Amino acid sequence: MITANKYFGTDGIRGRAGHYPMVPEFFVKLGWAIGTVLAPHGSSRVIIGKDTRITGYMFESSLQAGLAAAGVDSYLLGPMSTPGVAYLTRNMGFDAGIVISASHNSYQDNGVKIFSRSGTKIPDEIEHHIEQMLAQPLVVVSPEKVGRVYRVEEAIKRYVDYCKHVFPSNLSLSGLKIVVDCANGANYYMGPRVFADLGAHILTIANNPNGLNINDECGSTHPAKLQEAVVKEEADLGIAFDGDGDRVIMVDKTGEVVDGDELIFIIVQAALRNGQKIDGVAGTLMTNLGLEQALQALDVPMERSKVGDRYVLETLQKKGWQIGGESSGHIIHLGYASTGDGIIAALLVLAAMVQSGESLHSLKQGMHKCPQRLINVKVATSVDPMSVPAIQEAVSHVQEQLQDRGRVLLRASGTEPLIRVMVEGNDPAEVSKLAADLAEIVEKSLS
């Protein structure tokens, strides 16, 4: 039986930079542990990418040192999205891929995500093995076996060309005016480049990273400026990535947000219209009930996993399905990528628009979202909220009120010190009140 990890959460290792374990000495040891576990046979190669946060330089150097101590060569990409690293890892035959990123978090945080040679996030048992090595003394290989460091040339061009290849060659984005919010993150160059090369007229916001402005009131978690820009510029739509580019949400021409659940529906509906067979879709506990109902109407089953794109991927692999994702915009299509990829998901939606001749606003109408309220409650330390009697009682009370008209979900975030309180139902006023009342009890109980 695998015991609980000390460092790895639901999406790698993440925390406040400068506070243990987000310190250089830990990253040296982590690099050594990764090299020892994932590339144990000598002459091994690991590719490293990072988002645009300033502390990435510090952690990149530390990981290099640890990998070199394990006898592993490091190949540096510089700023590169998480899905870009996953693609290049498998496409270029590396033994492992490492992304230095804290995804949608602010610049004060950083973290590490690790990919296997197949471009998928490493499973729990490999994470546990790395944690076991972290508890061991660091032993440096003999000098003649110490790893070297190289730069990967034309990595951006290779990944951009692949993304463009996903879009049907007989289609064009010509005539579409698109506002792209790059979150001042890893897609600040690649995202706009892909869409422009395919013919779209592109306007960009939040595409001037300075190391400190990643996800700062921009990107997929803060779409207000994108909504404003789409309406002001009279654009056809807007596209927003998060800091490391594995999430995407869109904004339609009216300024309404189109979230991950709605984007999945559009992608599935387009695939069915093109005669493709969709055996099923993987969602999560947070997936809107409206998506499940819309898929049922299309005779497509849906299965819910734990929250986290790695668990969505596990469900897809177990079921032999291809499409899944989260409301937040992590969307996986295994026909094109081995992990969530914001650019590729956006291209699939854009292809659906061009092929159908319909607007994004029109395409999303086939799915009717159930009112859902999510409140993040800050806590000092992450705990299981359902282990607290007062919270258990409050949840039972909400469930009694909702009966079969909705659902309630409480969970501790795997990446931040938050308790996520979600209530879903038919009546938006009732949903908001129940969620607010429950969040208040959670805050009082865990303060």
Catalytic residues: 103
The closest of 367, 352, 361, 364 to 294, measured between CA atoms, is 367
The CA distance from 211 to 427, in Å, is 43
The CA distance from 111 to 116, in Å, is 17
The CA distance from 346 to 191, in Å, is 10
Amino acid (1-letter code) at residue 217: E
Give whole-number Cα distances, 123 to 11, 93, 268, 329, 366, in Å.
Answer: 11, 19, 27, 22, 36
138: left (phi over 0), alpha (psi -120 to 50) or beta: beta
Amino acid (1-letter code) at residue 338: S
Q: What is the DSSP letter of 119?
A: S
The CA distance from 414 to 382, in Å, is 8
Q: Which helix (H) or strand (E) holds 69?
A: helix 56-69
Q: Is the distance from CB of 265 to CB of 293 less than 8 angstroms?
A: no
Give whole-number Cα distances, 5 to 66, 135, 343, in Å.
Answer: 21, 12, 32
The closest of 411, 417, 421, 415 to 376, measured between CA atoms, is 421
The CA distance from 10 to 24, in Å, is 22
Q: Which helix (H) or strand (E) holds 262?
A: helix 260-273
Q: Is the distance from CB of 26 to CB of 111 less than 8 angstroms?
A: no
